[in-house]
Structure 1
Amino acid sequence: MTGRGCRVAVGPANNKGPERQGFLLDLVTGADGEGGSLQKLADGAARWISTTAGAPVECAAVLHRQRCCPSIAGSTPEAASVAAAEDEHADGPAALGSALAAPAVVNVGGSRWQAYRRRLLERGFGSALAVPLELQAGSAGAVIFLGPPNFGFNARVVHEASWFAGVASQSLKLALDVHGVIRAGDNLKQVLESRTSIDVACGVLMAQNRCSYSEAFGKLAGTSRNRNLKVRSVADSILKAMPSGAPGTRFEPPAIA
């Protein structure tokens, strides 16, 4: 999804354009929720950086959100496995989420992150580059680029990865906002459907027992407590027992004359 004046980075066809300001990644179209957007990000990052690096670089994307389990996606299962193990053991450059303030390179040499480096080798990678994502307050993330054996991330590739992470940050923030709106709409629809079922069931009870709405709702609530069921479930059971079955509910915007 793009705003006016934005272009979509869809692949590695041209990483050297003179004017790249305004790029956004489409992380919404075809994405099944936030996990789908994260997967599109990992796939796009791998394609983009592989062109700059001149080698097959894989990518993992990690998203940490308050009161939520971390979300992880990878351009390959091995890439996702590296990120998942890093999060589990908390011993890699991107394990701490928001604590990663700048790009971190893990090449063959060096004594830091030894356990992490061993896991890279076990999964067929020779180096890693973790770049933080700048997201909304309460969220943190990173893209982790994984190079093949005997490959090292040089300054040019690190610079390109940092630029891409900036694009990815804005794109992912937009995608998370869109998914939030969709989720809120779905929740509202569920509330409206639940309310409608309860109201219709109360109408049935009012007709059967010649009682008020308050009395009918009290009967539903009492049955709900006695059977340890939700009021919506009790209402649905009443509607399903009707000779014509439960009436359907549809929510459509009002017609404009």
Structure 2
Amino acid sequence: MAVQPAAGTVRTERRGFLLDLITGTETDQDLVQRLAEAGALALGGSADCAALLMRAGGPPVRAGNSPAAAALASSEDRNGGGPLAHAVSAAELLKVDRTAPTRWQAYRRRLSASGFGAALAVPLGLEDRMSCALLFLVRGSTGLTPNLVAEARWFAEVAAQSLRLALEVRSVRSAGDNLKNVLEGRTSIDVACGVIMAQNSCTYAEAFSKLAGASRQRNLKVRSVAENVVKSVGAGTPAARPETPGLAQPL
């Protein structure tokens, strides 16, 4: 996960490298935290890093590799925005240092109070109603050197590719879990219908209709009614009366 280029060099190679944003990242907060930690490592300790992830219709998710970075990221809402929010909304790189416009002077004072001399916000190119940005926070008076800016840009490209992959994997996993639940529910319904068909010499459609009717009457999902029918058979419950096959006894 760590990227530590040699001092004084500018990273140009971008192929064949991805961050592991999949292992141990079950939530958006996990993803953002991993990004912030990796961002700080990528610059070899020359800067702290914070990250912001925005989903359409969802709350912002922020994290930092250090308490100071996390606090600055969280303070943007309380202080009318900041570089992270700007990078996300405008999708453009933003430098906050001695050359920053007047509108960023208040933020520079907050940087200084937190022990930082400059900040660099870099957006990540994402899709599907989602946006993300990284904030690199430089301590001391070294400022935003060309090498640091180049490394930050490179890491942002790697992070964007890695984040897109992680989100795609999570989507596939979620779809798989949903399909598994659907198939499990379908199995329960099929078995319950088989029980009702055997008890009442009716068709599958008639058996399913009875399950659906019980579902509406009892305000339960069809799958829940079906599972109760299957459980009642497994427990050795006596067969139901023909007029309410498989559903007469309490479920």
Question: TM-score, normalized by length of structure 1?
Answer: 0.74
Between stretches 125-134 and 145-154, larger displacement belongs to 145-154
Evaluate the alpha carbon distance shift between residue 156 and residue 18 of structure 1 in structure 2; reply closer, same or farther with a 3 A threshold.
closer
Partner residue in 1 for 2:26:
33
2: CA distance, partners of 1:46 / 1:198:
52
**Corresponding residue for 1:215?**
206
Is residue 27–residue 37 contact of structure 1 (8 Å, CA) maintained in 2?
Answer: no
Alignment partner, residue 59 of structure 1: 49
Bigger mean CA deviation after superposition, 105-114 or 196-205: 105-114
In the aligned structure 2, how far is the partner of 1:127 from the partner of 1:242? 70
**Matched residue type, 1:27:** D
Number of equivalences = 233
Q: Which runs of 4+ in 1 moved over 6 A?
A: none
CA 1:213–1:168 in structure 2 vs 1: closer, same or farther (change >3 Å)? same
The secondary structure found in structure 2 opposite 1:94 is: helix
Out of 34, 43, 47, the residue aligned to residue 49 of structure 1 is 43
Unaligned runs of 5+ in 1: 1-8, 246-257
Q: Percent identity?
A: 46
Query: Which residue of structure 1 lines up, in the alignment, with residue 123 of structure 2?
Result: 132
Q: State the AA in 2 paired with 1:47.
A: L
Q: 1:113 to 1:206 in 2, by over 3 A?
A: farther
Mapping for residues 48-87 of structure 1, pairs under 5 Å: 48-51=42-45, 53=46, 57-86=47-76
Letter in 2 for 1:196: T
Question: What is the CA distance between 1:149 and its match in structure 2?
Answer: 5.8
The aligned runs of 1:1-257 (5 Å cut-off) are 10-12=2-4, 14=6, 16=9, 20-33=13-26, 35=28, 36-51=30-45, 53=46, 57-86=47-76, 91-96=81-86, 98-107=88-97, 111-113=102-104, 116-117=107-108, 120=111, 125-148=116-139, 152-243=143-234
Tell me whether 151-160 or 226-235 shows the greater mean CA deviation: 151-160
Cα drift, residue 40 of structure 1: 2.4
How big is each residue's C-alpha offset from its partner over 1:174-198, in whole Å with a ceiling of 9 and x where there is no partner? 2222222222222211111111111
Work out whether residues 59 and 74 of structure 1, in 8 Å CA contact, stay in contact via their aligned partners in 2. yes
- Larger Rg belongs to: 2
CA RMSD of aligned residues (A): 3.1
Q: 1:218 to 1:18 in 2, by over 3 A?
A: closer
Cα displacement string for residues 21-70 of structure 1 (whole angstroms, at most 9, x for unaligned residues): 3142232452333533433222111111144x3xxx22122222334443
TM-score (norm 2): 0.76
